[in-house]
Amino acid sequence: MMRLLQERASYNDVSLKKVTLARMNALAIPLADESVDTVVANGVLHLISNPEKVIKEIWRVLKRGGAYLCLDDRPGQNVTTPFDNSHYFEIVNYLYQEYWKIINQKGITPQKYSWKFDRNVTCDQIFQSKTEKIIERNQPYEISLDEGFLPRLMGKGFSDQVSIPNDIHQESVEKVLNQAKEKFGVDFGKVTFKGIEDNLIVTIFIK
């Protein structure tokens, strides 16, 4: 993630002399109360063992009037994206389940993610106001599992609930792909899927 941040900064012409990159735990942010203007946390809350605690931490470090911007998976949100290949979810679910089966066999047992947690209910109780902005996309896209899905299985740093050593991760992904190749006769790492990107909703909570 740190390397990705560096790459993105240089891609967007942001000088790293003006930016401090730091790795920290969202459950205990090592920053003073009311010291931050804006917090952006996208796609994180649903991976955290105690999301309410993270929201309280965000509120604590924000200055009065500061903003918390988030764009993430909503619990209970329906996935309506029409895929050209109707087997996409079946395959992704298969790879995902088999991957975790292998990881479990190695004695690593992650907790379930907090899918039932409702971010808006908690934030509405803590923050004073909110607005929503829609980023219109509705664009067709094409992506291979290799580019889009498999990297998301990366256990190390994936969530605060599980840490999987890199060698075990690599070995498990390879095993799952071989298994899938035997079962379906297809090398899924290389398969490309088409879809339409949904609009994105950014919620901005104000302290």
Ligand X SMILES: C[S@@+](CC[C@H](N)C(=O)[O-])C[C@H]1O[C@@H](n2cnc3c(N)ncnc32)[C@H](O)[C@@H]1O
Find the DSSP H helices in 112-165: 119-126, 145-148
Under the criterion CB under 6 A, does residue 39 sit at the interface with ligand X? no
Sign of the four-CA dihedral 46, 112, 4, 173: negative
CA distance linking residue 26 with residue 36, whole number of Å: 14
Question: Under the criterion CB under 6 A, does residue 151 sit at the interface with ligand X?
Answer: no
Strand partners, 140: 196
Does position 28 bind ligand X by CB under 6 A?
A: no
Contact partners, residue 75, CB within 8 Å, separation at least 6 = 46, 114, 115, 116, 117, 118, 119
Residue 165 within binding range of ligand X, rule CB under 6 A: no
- 55 near ligand X, rule: CB under 6 A: no
Q: How many residues bind ligand X (CB under 6 A)?
A: 12
Task: Candidates 157, 181, 192, 200: give the one binding ligand X (CB under 6 A).
Answer: 157
Q: Which is nearer to ligand X, 47 or 108 (CB)?
A: 47
Structure letter (DSSP) for residue 85: S
Query: Is residue 102 a contact residue for ligand X (CB under 6 A)?
Result: no
In the bound state with ligand X, the residue whose beta carbon lies nearer, of 47 and 92, is 47
Q: Binding of ligand X at residue 27 (CB under 6 A)?
A: yes
Q: Pick from 38, 155, 56: which is nearest to 106 by CA?
A: 155
Q: In the set 2, 43, 97, 170, which binds ligand X (CB under 6 A)?
A: 43
Contact, 195 vs 83, CB < 8 A?
Answer: yes
Q: Does 166 bind ligand X (CB under 6 A)?
A: no
Task: Please give the residue ranges that form the binding site for ligand X (CB under 6 A).
Answer: 1, 25-27, 42-44, 47-48, 157, 159-160
